[in-house]
Structures are given as C-alpha cells and as structure tokens.
Amino acid sequence: MWIALIVILALVLVLGLWFAGAYNGLVGLRNQVKNAWAQIDVQLKRRYDLIPNLIETVKGYMTHERQTLESVTNARNLAQQLSTSTSVEARAKAEGELSSALSRLLAVVENYPNLKANQNFLALQEELTSTENKISFARQFYNDSVMKYNNQTQMFPSNIVAGMANFKASEFFEVKVEEERQAPKVKF
Amino acid sequence: MWEQIQSNRTRSIMLVIGMGLILVALGYALGMAFTDNGLAGLVIALVLWGIMNLIALTQGDSILLGMANAKEIKPSDHPRLYNVVEEMKIASGIDTMPKVYIIDDPALNAFATGRDKNHISVAITSGLLQKLNRDELQGVIGHEMAHIKNRDVSLMVWCSILLGTIVILAQYGSRMFIFGGGSRRSSSNEGSGGGAQAILMVAALLLIVLAPLFAQLIYFAISRKREYLADASSAQYTRYPEGLASALEKLGASTEQLRSANQATAPMYIINPFRAKGKAAANLTSTHPPISERVRILRSMNGASYHNYDEAFKQVKGGHVIPPTAIKLDHDETIREASDEGPLATEIGRARETSNALWNMNKYQTVDCDCGVKLRVPPGLKGQEIQCPHCGEIHQT
C-alpha cells in the first residue's frame, strides 16, 4: 500500500520534472526565435535609413537613371510601410523587391566612373554591402532557430507539452522569387 | 549546437579536473618536502590559485589584450573589419557585440578572449588584416566567434590559470630545492625516517619537473579538439568554407612569428604562433591541428552544415569530430557564392585601408590636400597650420 503510493508519487514527480524541463526548453527556443526576428528587424531598418543617403549621393552623378532611382525609393517606402505588418510572408516579399531594386541600381554604377571614385559613395557602399550581409546572416540564424523550435514542437515526446501549452510552429523567412534570392551584387 | 557543447564539456571538465589534481599533488608534495606538512603546501597552492582566479575573472581579458599589445578600434577606424565582426556576431547568434582590437604586427594571427559572455573581444594583427579579402576575413572572424559561442574562451581562461599556477609553484619549488631548502631539513630531521624523507624529496622533485609538462599536454589536448569544431562552426556561419580554407592557407604560408605571444596564450590564437615553417606538428605538443589538414577538410565539404563538415572530416581523417546525436537532424546547407571584393580586392587597397586605421588609432589627423597628397598630422602638433610638402598649400588643422 505504502510502496504503491510512494511509487505513484515518484512517477508524478518525475513526470512533472520532465514536463517543466520540456516546457522551459520550448520557451527558450521560442525566445531565441523572437530575438532572431528582432535582429532581422534592426538590419532592415538600417537599410531603410541608408537608402535616402545613397540616393542623395548618387543623384548628382546618375542623371539618366531617374527610373532606377525611383523604383528603389518606392520599394523602400513600400517595405517600410509593411514593416509593421505581422505577416512574415508579405514582409519577405517586399524586402525581396527592395533587394532586387537595389541590385539594379548598384549594377548601373558601373557606368559612372566618377561616382566610383567618390569617397562618400565608397563608404556608403561598404555600409550597404555589410547591411545586406547582415540581413542574410540574420535571416539564416532566424531560419535555423525556427527549424529547431518547430522540430521541438512537432517531435515526440515534446510535442505533447507543446500541444498542451499551445506552442505554435513559426514561419520561415523565405525569399520567394528566384531572382531575389541573391543579395544585390555590389559591382565596381 | 547545444548537444555538441554538452558532449565536449564533459570531456573538458575531465581534463580540467586532471589539471586540478596535478596542482593539488604538486602543492602537497612541496609542502611535504619543505615543511613536513603536506596540507600547508596544499593550502598555499589553492590560495595562489584563488588569487590568480580573482585577477583573471576581473581583468583577465584586459591583461591578455595588453600583453598582446592590442588596441581597441571604433567602427569608423576600420569599417570593413568592424562590419565583418558584426556580421559574424549576427550569424552566430551571440547577444553582445564583441570589442574589436587590432595588434600592430606584421605576423598573421587572430584570437578571441573574454571573461564572460558580456565581456568578449576579438583581436587581429594588422598583417593578417591586409592579407585577407572579405570572405577570408569572414572565415577567420567566424572561427573566433565560434570559440566564443562554444564557450572555448572561458574554458581556456580556466585552463591557463591552472597552468599558470602550476608553473609558478614548480618554479618556486625548484628554487627552494637549489637554495637552502635541503639544509634546513637535514638539521630538523636528523636520524628519524631519513629513507622515507629521501623518497618524498625525489617524488617532489619529479613532480616539480613533470607537473608543468603534464599540465601543458592536457591544455594542448583540450585546445586541439576545439579547433576542428570552430572550423565547422565558421563554415556553418559563413556558408562559405572556402573563405576560411584560403585564409588558413595564407596563414600557413607565412613565416613571421608573433612578437607578443607566449606559451600560455598560444592556444588562443587561430594558428599556433610558435610553429616552425613547413612542420606538420600533429603531435602531443602542438596546440593546433596541422593547417594543411584543416584546409583539406574544409575543401572537401559538400555543403556548409555541421553534418557536411563531419562527412568531410571522415573522408580526410577518418572517424567523427562532431557527435552523431548533435547532427542527426542536420541537412545539407548550400554553399553561397564568393562575394564581390570591390576596390579592396587587391592587397594594395587593403594595406592602405589598414594603415589608415593604424594612423587613426594613434590619433593622427588626416588632411587631404587638393594636389592628392594625404598629410598625417601627429597628435601633439604645435600651431594651427601645416604646409603641404608637395604643392606648398597651407592647411588649417
């Protein structure tokens, strides 16, 4: 009688400890996903800030590229508007469009040797290249975190805890269009 | 990669305990040999260790960086380096931005240090900085960030404190043997238990000679394993193993030795600062696996994930370097394309960039003259004007 009670108590204790461990593990992973998302956000904002400077610097040199410059500005404004939206997919699409508009702009820089000698422009270009890299590294880390988190919510036995405590799978940040998959190539 | 760190940690803890035992044995033996009281020696050893710990944990990183002659830079001093460090910080998912240091030395090397996860630093020599293009720099910095992420940095601090204590004790012990230790004991212990005493003396002497050696072997064993892991992480962060591979090749080809390195700090660098040229040092006393092997593994990777690194390792060396449980869910990761290097693709461009950074770090002002000459104005210059030696134009400073 006593033994049975002790065994049951011990089982409940072990189960409770396991549940707590699994729950905390899931919370940790979910927070990592959130932090990773915040990192992407920081870098995207940095890109919104850099673009007006870039346009300002480039405008004087690129007199024949009004359309290219406008498409970059438009894409930037659209992306910034959508930055408050909660849909990861819509944001990813707008950011992808901004990336490709930027890469078109940086491709035509090739035709303006004076611009390529401008110190201001070179410094901006380093910042922009690095920001593009940071965006893709942040996205990479975010997707890795989402993968880990989703695995944990779906795999047995932690999926039981995830189901009970309502841990939902997260969305990946994917760039959809083939052409947009590459960060803008900074050509010289 | 938590599982991976975990399995590594058990092994590392065993090795640290091994070093701790050597310290305890040495302290006890010294105590027995000089005061007939093993415990006294033990206490002295532990107190010394405690003091060293205290120093190391409060300012160990600054002492290390000071010893290496490293100077901290601002983002504007060397934008490319600072940006690459930040990129790798993001890719590795570390929360704090490390401080970035440059060591003004033509030798090629880099290291990471820190006392806890909020105080971390990355240092790189100016020589290496101008040798590496962006992708290669990314590979090297990725390797250093991996050391921070995998907690190697704090482990190394622990180990170097233990090693340092053992070396100090052994040095003082041997001095006591040479000057005077023996004479005091011969008067106090005359007649009683001379044979046992002699054996103890011999044992203490042996320990004094061997302890630092053993401790160093353990220290090196810890660091070697971790180099492979850091290489794997770097490939995973950058998604471009070729960057680190070609950086390592450049590092391996150089013969310049780092002036400011010493035995205790050696395992912290990306390559062993003391290696002789062309020597494949895959033996017990080397802190790092041979460079050619590391390059071959990186170049045989079919993707950029840990799983890909493990496969390449198996192909080149045989066996596993990453525990299978850590990568059972890993899939192949596509390797990205090389990045466009721009005006810094040539070594001349990068040399100029690095020397600019060094001038800035030493608080020189730069004046661009209209004739194309760059004037470097030293920080203590008297007067407000400086004349360009080329065209004679006068500039205000």
What secondary structure, in 3-state letters, does chain A show? CHHHHHHHHHHHHHHHHHHHHHHHHHHHHHHHHHHHHHHHHHHHHHHHHHHHHHHHHHHCCCCCCHHHHHHHHHHHHHHHHHCCCCCHHHHHHHHHHHHHHHHHHHHHHHHCHHHHCCHHHHHHHHHHHHHHHHHHHHHHHHHHHHHHHHHHHHCCCHHHHHHHCCCCCCCCCCCCCHHHHCCCCCCC
Task: List, for residues A156-181, the tens digit of each pLDDT value.
Answer: 887 888 888 788 888 887 765 444 44
- Whole-number pLDDT of residue B63: 77
pLDDT for residue B258: 67
CB within 8 Å of chain B, chain A residues 24-43: 32, 35-36, 39, 43
Single pTM value for the model: 0.80
Please give the DSSP secondary-structure letter assigned to residue B325.
Answer: G
Q: Which residues pair with B113 in a beta bridge?
A: B121
- Select the residue from A31, A130, A151 to test the B interface by mutation, using most B Cβ atoms within 10 A: A130
Whether B83 and A127 lie within 8 Å, measured CB to CB: yes
What confidence score (pLDDT) does residue B287 get? Answer: 60
Whether the per-residue pLDDT at B285 is higher than 60: the answer is no
- Kindly determine whether residue B79 and residue A185, on different chains, have CB atoms separated by under 8 Å: no
Beta bridge partners of B374: B368
A185 and B340: CB-CB below 8 Å?
yes
Question: Residue B356 and residue B333: Cα distance in Å, rounded?
Answer: 38
- For the stretch A141-153, pLDDT in tens is 998 898 888 888 8
* pLDDT score of A159: 81
pLDDT beyond 60 at B211 = yes
Beta strands in chain B (DSSP E): 70-72, 99-103, 110-116, 119-125, 365-368, 374-377, 385-387, 394-396
- The ranges assigned to domains in chain B are 2-327, 363-396
Res B260: pLDDT: 61
Mean pLDDT, range B154-169, rounded to an integer: 77
pLDDT at B306: 86
Query: What is the ipTM metric for this complex?
Result: 0.81
Contact criterion met (CB < 8 Å) for B87 and A188: no
Give the residue-averaged pLDDT of B296-312: 88
**DSSP calls for B35-61:** HS-HHHHHHHHHHHHHHHHHHHHHHHH
B189 contacts: CB under 8 Å, gap ≥ 6: B36, B197
Domains with residue ranges and CATH for chain A: 40-181 (1.20.1440.20)
Cβ contacts of A156 on chain B, cutoff 8 Å:
none
In chain A, what residues touch B339 (CB-CB under 8 Å)? 129, 133
Pick B123 or B163 by higher pLDDT: B123
Nearest-Å Rg of the Cα atoms of chain A is 24
Q: Which residues of A touch B342 (CB under 8 A)?
A: 125, 129, 186, 188
Contact at CB, A123 and B91, closer than 8 angstroms: no
Q: How far is CA B390 from the centre of its chain?
A: 45
Report the pLDDT value the prediction gives residue B277, as an integer from 0 to 100: 43
Average of per-residue pLDDT values in chain B: 78
At B165, give phi and psi (nearest 5°): -60, -45
| Alpha helices in B36-122, H assignment, sequence order | 38-67, 79-92
Told to judge if B144 belongs to the known catalytic residues of this protein, a careful annotator would answer yes
Catalytic residue among B87, B136, B144, B227: B144
Residue A184, pLDDT above cutoff 70:
no
pLDDT at A178: 44
pLDDT band at B194 (very low <50, low <70, confident <90, very high): low
Which of A32-46, A125-139, B215-229 is least confident? Answer: B215-229
A45 touches chain B (CB under 8 A): no
Q: Does A171 touch chain B (CB under 8 A)?
A: no
Mean pLDDT of B181-200: 54
SS3 sequence, B234-281? Answer: HHHHHCCHHHHHHHHHHHHHCCCCCCCCCCCCHHHECCCCCCCCCCCC
Q: What's the pLDDT score for residue B85?
A: 95
**Contact B93/A at CB under 8 A:** yes
Sort out which chain A residues have CB atoms less than 8 A from B91's CB and list them: 137, 140-141
Largest CA distance in chain A: 92
Using a CB-CB distance cutoff of 8 angstroms, which residues of chain A are in contact with residue B92?
141
